[in-house]
Amino acid sequence: MALPLNRQVLEMKPSGIRKYFDIIQGMEGAISLGVGEPDFDTPWHIRDEGIYALEKGRTHYTSNAGLMELKQEICAYLQRTQQIPYTPDQVFVTVGGSEAIDLCVRAMLNPGDEVLIPQPSYVSYEPCVVWAQGKAVIIELKEEHEFRLQPEQMLEKITDRTRLLVLPYPNNPTGAIMTREDLEPIAKICVEKDIYVLSDEIYGELTYDSKHVSIASLPGMRERTIIASGFSKAFAMTGWRLGYAVGPAAIVEQMLKVHQYAIMCAPTMSQYAGIEALRNGEADVNEMREEFNRRRRFLLHSFEEMELPCFTPYGAFYVFPCIKKYGCSSDDFAMRLLEEERLAVVPGTAFGDCGEGFLRISYAYSLDNLKRAMKRLKRFIGKL
């Protein structure tokens, strides 16, 4: 008899990075540039607040939506950084930004509703949409556009079933950003065609040339944008599992209903630490951003020296070099690089088929580590 398993779950292909993980695990002296989280530990004053919360016995549930104090701090933060006036009833605290993404599509989609997903992008959008009975419509971002979403590309894919656009900027895996000028035509289309936006701004603090602009800050967009964000990348708090969703109260309320039944509430001690992060963490964020920026420049310079083409990314902590000139697939390149030079990177295809011909290289590593890795990459390229 067949196992009682959901067909849609069964049919979803597992993440493309698993096999690399299995190989590198048993490998002596391997260097990985494959992680999607900061190398910094959470700043000590934030950790200390978490410890203090435990000490004080803050070990119980909070309200479903999270601590009022934290929600107020999130509102203040969005006012400060994006000049968007949110109120606490438009915010709730989630288990990482990824939960907010899942809840958003679950609360908003009816069977067959279409969601525009620009790729290459984070791995969870497509499965979440499919499991929410929606239809994922992929928009293939192009290197010639610096992986920014083009209004024409969007118009091509819109049908009368299009409900939602996922806007994944600053982008994992490409490091691409969208400026205000880039966002304006997109916003215009959304308003005209009555399309809502799920804006994944988890890397919003990590931009290197200009400040991140949320599409929700554009005219007419606050009432049709759900921001999914969190503390993981900005404050180096990945393990705390702390994020939030912000948006129109009527939508947030329904998302909160799902959260209430599925999760109950985000970890309590993490929430207390989150308050400290938003109140007193700005200097840490600036420090980490500067350090990331120096590494970004170092990698781009190294690529230039070894004549590996790469567009200049201005966000997140990834570079996305193009390996098409070597005439092999991303997967083959990454696999050989791992086997021959014991250097792990992630093939672009892990983030969508249009990632073919690219590699995601993370610079969430110390400069010394990056230097050693670039030596290996250079040697490998020399052999091709």
Partner 1 sequence: MKLRQEILKVLEKNARTEWKELAVLLDAPEEDIRNEVSAMEEEGVICGYHTIINREGTEEEKVSALIEVRVTPQRGMGFDSIAERIYKFPEVDSVYLMSGAYDLMVILTCKNMQEVANFVSMKLSTLESVLSTATHFIMKRYKDHGSVLAKRYEDTRELITP
Among 9, 12, 15, 48, binds partner 1 (CB under 8 A): 15
Within 262-301, the residues that bind partner 1 by CB under 8 A are 290, 294, 297-298, 301
- CA separation (Å) from 29 to 343, 372, 376? 9, 11, 12
Is 136 a binding residue for partner 1 by CB under 8 A? The answer is no
Is 44 a binding residue for partner 1 by CB under 8 A? The answer is no
Is 35 a binding residue for partner 1 by CB under 8 A? The answer is yes
Judged by beta carbon, residue 15 or residue 79, the one nearer partner 1 is 15
- Residue 45 burial (CB count, 10 A): 15
What is the token pair recorded at 311?
Answer: 């567009």
Candidate segments 23-31, 125-133, 138-146, 259-267, binder of partner 1 by CB under 8 A: 23-31
Number of residues that bind partner 1 (CB under 8 A): 28
Is 123 a binding residue for partner 1 by CB under 8 A? The answer is yes
Judged by beta carbon, residue 247 or residue 355, the one nearer partner 1 is 355
Candidate segments 46-54, 84-92, 223-231, 345-353, binder of partner 1 by CB under 8 A: 345-353
Is 319 a binding residue for partner 1 by CB under 8 A? The answer is no
Coil vs helix vs strand at 262: helix
Within 66-95, the residues that bind partner 1 by CB under 8 A are none
Closest approach of Cβ 124 to partner 1, in Å?
Answer: 8
How far apart (Å, rounded) are the C-alpha atoms in residues 338 and 125? 28
What is the token pair recorded at 282?
Answer: 């700005």
Among 2, 25, 111, 144, binds partner 1 (CB under 8 A): 25
Candidate segments 24-32, 156-164, 215-223, 268-276, binder of partner 1 by CB under 8 A: 24-32
| 305: exposed, middle or buried (Cβ count in 10 Å: 0-12, 13-18, 19+) | exposed
Is 312 a binding residue for partner 1 by CB under 8 A? The answer is no
HSE of 173, CA atoms in CB hemisphere, 13 A: 31
Residues constituting the chain: 384
Is 37 a binding residue for partner 1 by CB under 8 A? The answer is yes
Complete DSSP assignment for 335-380: HHHHHHH-EE-EEGGGG-GGGTTBEEEE--S-HHHHHHHHHHHHHH
How far apart (Å, rounded) are the C-alpha atoms in residues 108 and 126? 15
Reference 359, options 328, 321, 329; nearest CA is 321
Coil vs helix vs strand at 131: helix
Cross-strand partners of 225: 197
Is 211 a binding residue for partner 1 by CB under 8 A? The answer is no
Closest approach of Cβ 109 to partner 1, in Å?
Answer: 23
Is 344 a binding residue for partner 1 by CB under 8 A? The answer is yes
Is 354 a binding residue for partner 1 by CB under 8 A? The answer is no
Site residues (CB under 8 A) for partner 1? 15, 17, 20-21, 24-25, 30, 32, 34-37, 39, 122-124, 172, 290, 294, 297-298, 301, 344, 346, 350-351, 366-367
